[in-house]
């Protein structure tokens, strides 16, 4: 019972006579033996042994610390200088290999993106190599500046750095030449394409005899010359083409018009494509020159890369050899100091063995004998208070077995501190006997107090009763003997409470803290039920942990609480039924609004659908008449043209009215689906308001004097529930049409929206109608409040608006109105609605 747990019971105060006896006993002091001269006591012996061992430990520690400092210095040198130098030189060599692989790719680049990508990679690798060289220089400056090999490595680094600078400039020049080569190649390709287009145009010209043949030969030679790799031959072909073009100019000058004019035009265009600045031959010559320069720069770069590779390889080998030398020296140092420490450790071990046997002879053997005597006393053997003194003069082994039926003496032989300890133990044993007797008397008085308690008290272990008082037994309708004989206390507890009691019992044994009051259902021996309230704590009882519980009968209190709870539940059920009725009325109002929207849209769609059906039937009659004339072979051209004219008119009529009906249905579908669902999605507010007004148009189209103005940014996007917003705007607009505006008089409804900061939207719906009376204004959002009770008003429209704004949209709504001047509803809500 949690385990039938209870508050701690404090011991009752002792009678005055017993307290005086206990106080006098506590004030008694053991008589110290008379002082004796000590020549060589236990403290001196222990101090001497420990001092020798401490000196040896200090010696080992000194050698170890010296070795550790040397080892740490060498390891620091390896980790901060040598090892980073090896790693950096290896990285430098790896970067160089990447550079070697990318140089030919740059020279062979065929497009600007490819050339730019390869060049960026080369620049990155060169910058990385410069950083590695700078890092290597810094590492070498931190090392031993007087080493000859390190000076040679520094010279190699300087040579590598200067070579890398030259290589970077060479790569930049190579990139420029490759850029020019690609640019001239593109210009050459563009000229070749233009030449192909010109050839196609010449083929469509009238036959011009030898002129056309020479033109074709010239274009063929030009196309073949662009593939030449020899610069002199390419320049010769360019000069030959220029001479041929001059001869063709003379031929075209003697030809009559319009053929001569066409020939001159072709000759001039061919001149601009072939030999003019930027033409085919000039682009080919420039591309070939750029390629030759790029090849030369590539060879120069490869020579520089080979130079850098030799330097880095030599540097890597030198650093690796220095690292190997330092590593070998460190290994030799470790081996030497290890041998020294092992020798000192062996010496320490030998000394420890000697100290052990010394302590065993003069200390531990006597303490073991004293411990056996004390254990024998605890197991029940009694001794005379002076039996230890009688044994003081008897020589013999302290660990010699003593018969059980003989008193076990406490050894006090010797002339040191152990003798004083023996005398003190004998005194404490006598004191324990006196205190045990006093404790037995207190226990008897405590039991009398518990037995007479009006609260039920029970002590159990694993729900097996160890003790119970008369009050607890009376609660269960049993005797104390019957309670103790119960197989488990769980048998008198309701089945539903047992698992919780077991868990509480386990927690109480684990943490030992008293449990709070707990109320459970139990049963009496005659089967009657009762409610009890219990608390508990863990106690030590009969050589083991147990649970002490205090139990109080609270049956009457529980019955009173149950009656009160039934009354409260009945009231809550009535409230829930009222809320359900209100919710069903609100839903009916929503459906009525949606039904009104459906009726208006259906009436609006009926007109374009009727026109579409009429046009389709007329078009069908026209097609039938045309088919009859065609069958009778009496179809005339004028009949067919008249059919086309009338058919086109009917098709346009059908298309325009079908489109109108489709737009109406689409707008209704969007608004109706949103109103009947709780889907959340992003949407543009201005477009959604326009769709809503298009759907509501059938309800107010008869009011020709009504104007609805919308002021909303076109890019204002919301992320929320369009169905809720549609229901809000529909109710507010319909509320203005029904209550505020006269159908026969001009009226205006203004819808405006704007951003208030980055995350808040303000939406207002206002009219210039009748306004709201001051005594009505505070009650307009109340459910079932309406000023048109006899005219079909339900009083839920604005209540639904209020609930949607404050609930679904997480916003606020306010209203401003003056009689005769109109009404304005202002909504403020987050642009991104939080999740439900």
Burial of 24 (0-12, 13-18, 19+ CB in 10 A): exposed
pLDDT above 70: residue 126: yes
Q: Would the CA dihedral through 368, 369, 373, 374 be positive or negative?
A: negative
HSE-CB of 46 using CA atoms within 13 angstroms: 8
pLDDT of residue 400: 45
pLDDT above 50: residue 401: no
Digit-coded pLDDT (tens) for 243-294: 777 776 666 666 666 666 676 777 677 777 777 676 777 777 777 777 788 7
pLDDT above 70: residue 747: yes
pLDDT of residue 383: 43
| Mean per-residue pLDDT, 36-65 | 72
Report residue 587's pLDDT band, with 50, 70 and 90 as the boundaries: low
pLDDT above 50: residue 23: no
Report residue 25's pLDDT band, with 50, 70 and 90 as the boundaries: very low
Helix (H) or strand (E) holding 420: helix 417-451
| Mean per-residue pLDDT, 381-400 | 41
Report residue 85's pLDDT band, with 50, 70 and 90 as the boundaries: confident
Digit-coded pLDDT (tens) for 601-618: 565 667 678 777 877 877
| Mean per-residue pLDDT, 407-411 | 63
pLDDT of residue 22: 41
pLDDT of residue 209: 61
| Mean per-residue pLDDT, 121-142 | 78
pLDDT of residue 445: 75
Nearest to 417 by CA among 31, 38, 30, 34: 38
Main-chain dihedrals φ then ψ at residue 759, nearest 5 degrees: -125, 10
pLDDT of residue 41: 65
In angstroms, the Cα distances linking 181 to 107, 110, 238, 291, 511 are 10, 9, 19, 6, 86
Please report how the helices 280-359 and 83-107 are oriented relative to each other, as an axis angle in degrees rounded to 10.
160
What proportion of the chain, given as a percentage, has pLDDT over 90?
Answer: 9
pLDDT above 60: residue 652: yes
pLDDT of residue 348: 78
pLDDT above 60: residue 391: no
Digit-coded pLDDT (tens) for 159-182: 777 888 888 888 888 788 888 778
For residue 513, give every residue at least 6 positions away whose Cβ sits within 8 Å of its Cβ, in sequence order, or none.
537
Report residue 319's pLDDT band, with 50, 70 and 90 as the boundaries: confident
Burial of 474 (0-12, 13-18, 19+ CB in 10 A): middle
pLDDT above 90: residue 709: yes
| Mean per-residue pLDDT, 288-312 | 79
| Mean per-residue pLDDT, 125-142 | 78
Digit-coded pLDDT (tens) for 682-693: 999 999 999 888
Q: Which of 350-359, 656-665, 701-710 comes out lowest in average pLDDT?
A: 656-665
For residue 657, give every residue at least 6 positions away whose Cβ sits within 8 Å of its Cβ, in sequence order, or none.
608, 609, 611, 612, 615
* CB contact at 8 A, 795 and 785: yes
Length of the chain: 836
Q: What is the value of pTM for the model shown?
A: 0.32
Q: Which of 21-30, 485-494, 572-581 comes out lowest in average pLDDT?
A: 21-30
Digit-coded pLDDT (tens) for 474-513: 888 888 888 888 888 888 888 888 888 888 888 888 887 7
Digit-coded pLDDT (tens) for 516-568: 888 888 888 888 888 888 888 888 887 788 888 888 888 888 888 888 888 78
pLDDT above 90: residue 385: no
pLDDT of residue 715: 93
pLDDT above 60: residue 696: yes
pLDDT above 60: residue 27: no
Report residue 406's pLDDT band, with 50, 70 and 90 as the boundaries: low
pLDDT of residue 407: 53
Q: Which of 225-234, 428-437, 818-827 comes out lowest in average pLDDT?
A: 225-234
**SS3 track for 375-406:** HHHHCCCCCCCCHHHHCCCCCCCCCCCCCCCC
824 pairs with which residues across the strands? Answer: 766, 816
More confident residue, 738 or 443: 738
185 token code pair: 């190649």
pLDDT above 90: residue 440: no
| Mean per-residue pLDDT, 406-423 | 67
More confident residue, 358 or 391: 358
pLDDT of residue 255: 61
pLDDT of residue 490: 85
35 token code pair: 């002082």
């Amino acid at each position: 019972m949690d385990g039938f747990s209870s508050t701690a019971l404090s011991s009752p105060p002792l009678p005055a006579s017993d307290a005086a006896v206990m106080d006098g006993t506590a004030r008694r002091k053991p008589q110290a033996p008379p002082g004796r001269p000590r020549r060589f006591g236990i403290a001196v012996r222990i101090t001497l042994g420990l001092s020798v061992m401490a000196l040896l430990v200090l010696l080992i520690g000194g050698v170890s610390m010296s070795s550790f400092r040397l080892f740490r210095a060498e390891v620091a040198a390896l980790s901060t200088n040598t090892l980073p130098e090896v790693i950096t030189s290896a990285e430098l060599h790896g970067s160089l290999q990447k550079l070697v692989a990318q140089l030919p790719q740059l020279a062979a680049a065929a497009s600007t993106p490819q050339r730019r990508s390869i060049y960026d990679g080369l620049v990155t690798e060169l910058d990385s190599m410069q950083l590695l060289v700078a890092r290597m220089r810094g590492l070498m400056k931190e090392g031993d500046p007087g080493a000859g090999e390190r000076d040679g490595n520094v010279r190699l680094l300087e040579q590598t750095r200067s070579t890398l600078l030259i290589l970077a400039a060479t790569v930049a020049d190579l990139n420029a030449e490759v850029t020019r080569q690609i640019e001239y190649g593109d210009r050459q390709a563009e000229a070749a394409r233009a030449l192909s287009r010109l050839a196609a145009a010449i083929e469509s010209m009238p036959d011009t005899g030898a002129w056309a043949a020479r033109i074709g030969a010239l274009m063929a030679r030009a196309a073949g010359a662009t593939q030449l790799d020899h610069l002199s031959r390419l320049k010769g072909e360019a000069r030959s083409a220029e001479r041929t073009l001059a001869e063709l100019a003379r031929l075209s000058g003697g030809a009559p018009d319009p053929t001569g004019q066409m020939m001159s035009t072709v000759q001039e265009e061919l001149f601009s494509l072939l030999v003019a600045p930027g033409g085919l031959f000039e682009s080919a010559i420039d591309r070939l020159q750029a390629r030759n320069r790029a090849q030369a720069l590539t060879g120069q770069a490869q020579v520089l890369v080979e130079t850098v590779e030799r330097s880095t390889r030599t540097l890597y080998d030198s650093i690796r050899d220095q690292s190997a030398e330092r590593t070998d020296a460190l290994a030799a140092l470790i081996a030497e100091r290890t041998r020294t420490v092992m020798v000192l450790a062996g010496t320490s071990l030998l000394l420890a063995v000697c100290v052990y046997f010394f302590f065993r002879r003069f200390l531990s053997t006597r303490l073991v004998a004293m411990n056996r005597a004390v254990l024998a006393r605890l197991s029940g053997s009694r001794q005379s208070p002076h039996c230890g003194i009688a044994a003081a003069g008897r020589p013999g082994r302290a660990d010699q077995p003593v018969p059980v039926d003989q008193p076990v003496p406490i050894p006090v032989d010797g002339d040191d501190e152990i003798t004083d300890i023996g005398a003190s133990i004998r005194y404490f044993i006598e004191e324990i006997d006196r205190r045990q007797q006093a404790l037995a008397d207190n226990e008897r008085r405590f039991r009398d107090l518990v037995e007479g308690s009006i609260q039920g008290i029970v002590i159990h272990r694993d729900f097996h009763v160890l003790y119970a008082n008369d009050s607890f037994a009376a609660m269960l309708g049993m005797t104390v003997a019957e309670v103790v004989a119960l197989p488990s206390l769980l048998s008198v507890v309701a089945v539903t409470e047992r698992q919780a009691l077991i868990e509480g019992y386990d927690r109480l044994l684990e943490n030992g803290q008293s449990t709070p009051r707990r109320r459970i259902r139990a049963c009496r021996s005659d089967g009657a039920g009762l409610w009890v309230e219990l608390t508990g704590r863990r106690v030590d009882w009969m050589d083991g942990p147990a649970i002490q519980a205090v139990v109080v009968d609270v049956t009457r209190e529980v019955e009173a609480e149950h009656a009160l709870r039934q009354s409260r539940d009945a009231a809550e059920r009535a409230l829930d039924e009222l809320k359900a009725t209100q919710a069903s009325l609100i839903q009916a109002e929503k459906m009525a609004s949606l039904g009104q929207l459906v009726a208006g849209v259906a009436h609006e769609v009926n007109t374009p659908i009727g026109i579409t059906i009429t046009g389709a039937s007329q078009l069908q009659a026209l097609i039938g008449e045309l088919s009859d004339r065609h069958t009778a072979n009496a179809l005339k051209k004028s009949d067919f043209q008249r059919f086309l004219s009338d058919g086109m008119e009917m098709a346009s009529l059908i298309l325009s009215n079908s489109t109108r009906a489709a737009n109406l249905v689409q707008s209704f579908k969007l608004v109706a689906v949103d109103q009947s669902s709780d889907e959340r999605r992003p949407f543009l507010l201005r477009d959604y308001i326009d769709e809503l007004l298009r759907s509501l148009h059938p309800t107010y189209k008869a009011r020709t004097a009504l104007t609805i103005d919308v002021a909303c940014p076109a890019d204002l996007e919301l992320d929320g529930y369009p169905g809720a917003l549609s229901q809000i705007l529909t109710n507010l607009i319909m509320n203005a049409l029904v209550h505020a505006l006269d159908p026969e008089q001009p009226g205006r409804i203004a819808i405006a929206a704007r951003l208030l900061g980055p995350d808040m939207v303000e939406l207002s719906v206002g009219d210039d109608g009748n306004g709201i009376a001051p005594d009505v204004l505070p009650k307009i959002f109340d459910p079932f409040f309406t000023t048109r009770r006899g005219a079909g008003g339900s009083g839920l429209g604005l209540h639904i608006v209020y609930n949607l704004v404050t609930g679904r949209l997480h916003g606020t709504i306010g209203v401003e109105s003056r009689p005769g001047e109109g009404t304005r509803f202002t909504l403020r809500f987050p642009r991104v609605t939080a999740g439900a």
